[in-house]
Structure 1
Amino acid sequence: MEFETLKIQIEEFQSSSTMTMRVAGNETRIRILKKILKLFEGVSDTRVQGRVTYRLNEIILMLFLATLAGSESCLGTQDFWRSNTRLYKRLFNKDAVPSHDTFRRILGLIRPDEFNALLVNILTDSDAAIRKALKLPSPTKKIVSVDGKQLRGTGRKADTEEEIRDLQILNVYDQDSETCLFSEAIESKTNEIPHAQDILSRMNLRDTVVTFDAMHMQTKTVGIIADGKGDYVGGLKGNQGKASEFAKALFTQENLEKLKAIDGCFHMTSEISHNQLEQRSFYLYPLTSSEKKGLFSDWKKAHALVCMAKSMVHNITGKRTDEVRYYLTSLKDIGDAAHCIRSHWNIENGLHWNLDTVFHEDSMALSDRNAAHNQDLLNKACLSLYKRLGDLMGGKEKISKRRLRNIFGWNFNDAMSRTLTLMDPATFAKSVEIIPKKSK
């Protein structure tokens, strides 16, 4: 398997070694915070500089740390800093904490593209530092997933009954780092397509597999990925017309049995999840030369069709549910294709679900769409840090993101110290202690 994410590598590392992270002291914490404060100067400030009380980078750091500690609103950010006056005075050299209106107004002024790029750079440097300290190789191939998310609660306007649609965010998610590389606001679900094509055309896709649902299974999108030297796995549904009909007619029970007997055309996984047995059977059908030149001639680099037959049996009720999905891919290995198909759901389960259940984004009290977008970016950055901290701290024990967020709220100084260590490569390298486990 060429796709080894950092999470998988850390789990393998912890099976043979024990890693501890020393908690950063007060002086180290302040030093790292001021370093991050300096990094946040990279976000443009459109305000008239002679009339501002709080610098933009100061407000961003206040919002970031409050979000880490559990704040879910601008009012919560105000309350957090009023409860941490000692840290506030030492870090910002001020007495008065900004009002919640100030936090909301600044969130509405920040350019999301600049803000996201800066946060992604910080997280990328952190992952590189972890790999270097633990002597972990970079993955041979990466998986990038494309999908959109709706920010429920943003579709409203103050003091009016005017109907406003909820804000849609298109996410491009790196499965290795579990980080959103791009998060762009779009006006409607269908507008995902041109936005995704624009983002993919700007990315380096070499040694990368792009996964997406049927909405993005467009010949232009596939062409952009192929021209960028990347691979793809995309869903096939009715909107692909003849290609989808061909797949449905192809994967009959008789043909599935034939493919099952051919080496390299069948792969199966089984697991117990959500109190039910889930079994997935993957069948790969390599397209013939005539099919590539005929029906699939417009799909660049198309190599095979994949059928995933999923069967779920509830452990208590015995109820059985069956599901069949079809995919078009440029990949040649059935194991790789199956892994990419499964990995695509991480953008739903690992990103979107956590944003709703841990950060409660559906209850976000921000009607300003730009402010809501920027708060969403803060949530995603904090979620990536929670995940990495949980991977490193947990060992064999899985620490849920909700539990980690509670830990931040209950013991902020200690949790913040560990997180800040992750965000400063030099400090992380010095704080890590590795002890090989004794073989039995």
Structure 2
Amino acid sequence: MSEIERVFTKHMEDHPKDPEPSESDVFSETEEKSRNRYEHRRCWVFDDILAIDPDQEWAKLTQFAVIQRDRRIGSQQTTELHYYIMSREMSAKSVLESVRSHWGIENSQHWKLDVSFNEDASKIHERTAAKNVATVRRCCFNAHSLSARFPKESMKTRIELAGLNDEYRTELIREHSFF
């Protein structure tokens, strides 16, 4: 068990009832409902850094947080705990908003890559190879996004055009690639 898990378990034993979110910077919660999906998130923020880092090996560590996600999709229910360490002080509400915002960006990028490169259908399962190909896809996606040529074409069409047009492909590599 990690030190954060230990501190959190002890906190939950000592404080079985959560404080009112409106009265606290150290606890917050949100609920989301859409169609057949329900998600309840609870966040606790802790300032006791010595409890998890007694030797003060992480000089800039200021807080740590735990987020519990209770999710129900149809009749399936899951609970997950996520642990975070932070180098700046944040309220529990801010932590929840930041984490939610991060995953919104991550999910949006994944959707764009899947539509453009059909990522979900990839047959690459070896972990290192999958990471390498994903990196190349992101670089290609960014190069196409930066290119001013074919502005009215979809990303999928731009990718196809790069395969057919030597001049466009060369422009992407020379001017917009990160290689």
> What TM-score does the superposition give when structure 2 sets the normalisation length?
0.58
- Gaps in structure 2 of 5+ consecutive residues: 124-128, 159-179
Contact 2:71 2:79 in 1 (8 A): yes
State the match for 2:93 in structure 1.
Answer: 335
Counterpart in the other structure of 1:10: none
2:39 match: secondary structure = strand
Equivalences for residues 401-440 of structure 1 within 5 A: 405=154
- Secondary structure of 1:322 counterpart: strand
Q: Is the Cα contact below 8 Å between 1:310 and 1:324 reproduced in 2?
A: yes
Q: Is it true that 1:320 corresponds to 2:77 in the alignment?
A: yes
Tell me how far apart the structure 1 counterparts of residues 19 and 47 of structure 2 sit (CA, whole Å): 10
Q: Shift of the alpha carbon at 1:312?
A: 1.6
The Cα shift of 1:381 comes to 4.7
Of the three residues 68, 82, 90, the one matched with 1:309 is 68
TM-score normalized with structure 1 length: 0.27
> Deviations along 1:211-236, whole A, 9 cap, x unmatched?
xxxxxxxxxxxxxxxxxxxxxxxxxx
Larger Rg: 1
> For the structure 1 residues 334 and 383, does the alpha-carbon distance in structure 2 shift closer, same or farther, using more than 3 Å as the test?
farther
> Matches of residues 14-413 of structure 1 in structure 2 within 5 Å?
241=2, 243-252=3-12, 254-255=14-15, 257-260=17-20, 263-273=24-34, 275-287=36-48, 290-291=50-51, 295=54, 297-314=56-73, 317-330=74-87, 331-346=89-104, 348-361=106-119, 374-382=136-144, 405=154
Task: Give the 3 Å change call, closer, same or farther, for CA 354–256 of structure 1 in structure 2.
Answer: farther
Match of 1:207 in 2: none
Shift of 1:347: 5.0
Count how many residue pairs are aligned between Structure 1 and Structure 2: 145
Deviations 1:166-192 (A, max 9, x none): xxxxxxxxxxxxxxxxxxxxxxxxxxx
Secondary structure of 1:345's partner?
A: helix
Name the aligned partner's letter for residue 79 of structure 2. Answer: D
Cα deviation for residue 254 of structure 1 reads: 4.4
RMSD: 4.1
Q: In the alignment, is the contact (CA less than 8 A) between 1:296 and 1:302 conserved in 2? A: no
Letter in 2 for 1:341: V
| Per-residue Cα deviation, 1:402-421 (whole angstroms, up to 9, x for no partner) | xx948978xxxxxxxxxxxx
Closer, same or farther in 2 for the Cα pair 1:245/1:253, shift >3 Å?
Answer: closer
Highest RCO, 1 vs 2 (Cα 8 Å, sep ≥ 6): 1
Check whether the contact 1:256–1:283 (CA below 8 A) recurs between aligned residues: no
Q: 1:407 to 1:268 in 2, by over 3 A?
A: same
- The alpha-carbon distance between structure 1 residues 362 and 269, as it changes in their structure 2 partners (threshold 3 A), is closer
Return the offset for 1:263: 1.8
Instruction: Give the CA deviation at 1:280.
Output: 0.9
Aligned equivalents of 2:62 and 2:19: distance in 1?
16
Give the residue type in structure 1 aligned to 2:71: M
Deviation at 1:384, TM superposition (A): 8.4
TM superposition outliers: structure 1 runs of 4+ over 6 Å = 406-409
Q: Name the aligned partner's letter for residue 269 of structure 1.
A: T
1:378-407 CA deviation, whole Å, 9 max, x = no partner?
A: 22354689xxx9xxxxxxxxxxxxxx9489
Identical pairs, percent: 22
